[in-house]
A and B are shown apart, each in its own frame.
Chain A
Amino acid sequence: ETGVTQTPRHLVMGMTNKKSLKCEQHLGHNAMYWYKQSAKKPLELMFVYNFKEQTENNSVPSRFSPECPNSSHLFLHLHTLQPEDSALYLCASEGQGYTGELFFGEGSRLTVL
């Protein structure tokens, strides 16, 4: 199994839909991240979980709702999104202590119609 797995890889949803992105890491890491990647913009940190506790919410709109049931799994629940939320959503994990050495999943490409 690959280190960090994200599903689905592609998602198209309407503005009124509710969907979820899933991330699973098989590296035994303790920290997990959600990043948003849009064209021509730097990676934007959204949420950080360390030992299942949320330690960072980077002023993300409430239409994005993270969930971390354990150190291996991370979800991003999506509802009433806007077209400008269309982007690549990347999950990453990190071993210990915010080393900066992130392992990324392949991403979920989201399109909001």
Chain B
Amino acid sequence: EAGVAQSPRYKIIEKRQSVAFWCNPISGHATLYWYQQILGQGPKLLIQFQNNGVVDDSQLPKDRFSAERLKGVDSTLKIQPAKLEDSAVYLCASSLFPGVGEQYFGPGTRLTVT
């Protein structure tokens, strides 16, 4: 079974530039999550989708971050404009149902903002 796919794996941008990350969850998983993991910290949930609807985006900095999952399958997370403190690994995860303990994570995108 194919796992969660993410691209790109690495990205380096200057502050104030924009960047987009892509995620393709495990086939059949209705729930998709985007997490931000800053070095030395645990993953922090940014947004959770159930099919193509947003379940929770309370921790998403909406002035600069946006995410969509238009067809209920793959998803895009965008940052515009980026700040230095956005440097982190952005992890996408999926699960069959919301709130289950077993979430399957992709390899992440490592973002460096200079």
Bound together:
no
B residues apposed to A, CB below 8 Å: none
